[in-house]
Structure 1
Amino acid sequence: MWDFVKLLLGATGAGYTAKHGPYPARTTKIRQTYTIQPTTLPAQLESNFEMSDIGIASQEDMKKARLPLGYRDSCANFLITLNKCRHKGNFMPWKCGDERHAYEHCQYKDYTKRMKQMQQQVQAAKDEAS
């Protein structure tokens, strides 16, 4: 039977083999490419980033954006922007990278600021005790 198929399709067999039956001789890997529109990073993400430079979102803005109470901190304005981008982009992971980076950077700076304050308080308590 396979000799008949080879005779009809030519000597190469055009992807048909006697062992496995009909299948494409070469499998082409399809790689879908996505173009990501560049977004501008907020001006606060410079090397001299300070938490005081950030415009903190108001309570009305946070309520309107329906942020949970645990996320209503000094980085809430970045989270509001990130959530808007996520909704606009259907929560695709490759979109909103700049906004996510801005939010995570703000969270990191806020964390380091709190840790420095805590170390200063501990040091002041040690100085008072001695």
Structure 2
Amino acid sequence: SIPSCQWPAGGIATVFGHLPGGTSQGRASPLAAVTSRSNAPATMGNWVSRYVTNPDGTPVPLTQPSFDPNFGFAHARKERVMIATEEEMEAAKVPLADRDYCAHKLIAYRACRADVWPWAYKCAHEKHDYLNCEYEDYIYRMKEYEREKRLLLRKQRIEKKQGSELHA
């Protein structure tokens, strides 16, 4: 038979109050086995790696990169710029959630729909351009996140190596 989960007397608040691998009234946390293993799989998601397994080696979401954008590149990288201005986005009534690097394509798509309505299918090209831009922006942000993560882990390895050399 499959054993049932045994939570500590304090409930789930006790478990999350003592991460990682802490104790509660002398009992080990149920997550202690997961957090103490050095070979724990890194496939559990960002929440676990950010707050449990490796908080120092996982980038904080929605913050600016902590490393130089040109670090590791032979030539300077091209800086991303917004094509649509704030005034254009306000005039087109673009919601705040959609005011990203693809806002100019969204404005063009909405203008096309307004021009040819009710035959919105005629704007398939503009819609494709906008959705493709959103996809490429997502891929770019994902690559930047992974780059930041690799650089944080590299920094940890270097600091660990320097720390072990000082103690030797």
Instruction: Give the TM-score band, short-chain normalised.
Output: 0.5 to 0.7
Give the Cα separation in 1 of the matches to 2:147 and 2:138. 14
Q: Which residue of 1 aligns with 2:5?
A: none
Cα drift, residue 84 of structure 1:
0.5
Mapping of residues 1-130 of structure 1, within 5 Å: 52=80, 56-130=83-157
Identity in percent:
34
Residues 95 and 111 (structure 1), Cα distance of their counterparts in 2 relative to 1, 3 Å cut: same
Counterpart of 1:98, as a letter, is: H
With 92-101 and 59-68 compared, the bigger mean Cα shift is at: 92-101
Residues 51 and 83 (structure 1), Cα distance of their counterparts in 2 relative to 1, 3 Å cut: farther
TM-score by length of 1: 0.56
Give the Cα separation in 1 of the matches to 2:110 and 2:142. 27
Q: Which runs of 5+ in 1 are unaligned?
A: 1-49
Give the Cα separation in 1 of the matches to 2:125 and 2:79. 18
Give the Cα separation in 2 of the matches to 1:91 and 1:72. 26
Counterpart of 2:104, as a letter, is: N
The answer to which structure, 1 or 2, has the higher relative contact order (CA under 8 A, 6+ apart) is: 1
Give the Cα separation in 1 of the matches to 2:141 and 2:133. 12
With 67-76 and 92-101 compared, the bigger mean Cα shift is at: 92-101
Q: Which runs of 5+ in 2 are unaligned?
A: 1-77, 158-168
Q: Deviation per CA, 1:48-67: give whole Å up to 9, x if none.
A: xx984x76100000000011
8 Å CA contact 2:82–2:100 kept in 1: the answer is no
Counterpart of 1:82, as a letter, is: Y
Residues 51 and 127 (structure 1), Cα distance of their counterparts in 2 relative to 1, 3 Å cut: closer
SS at match of 1:94: helix
Aligned residues: 80
8 Å CA contact 2:116–2:122 kept in 1: the answer is yes
Cα drift, residue 92 of structure 1:
3.1
Structure 1 runs (4+) deviating above 3 angstroms are: none
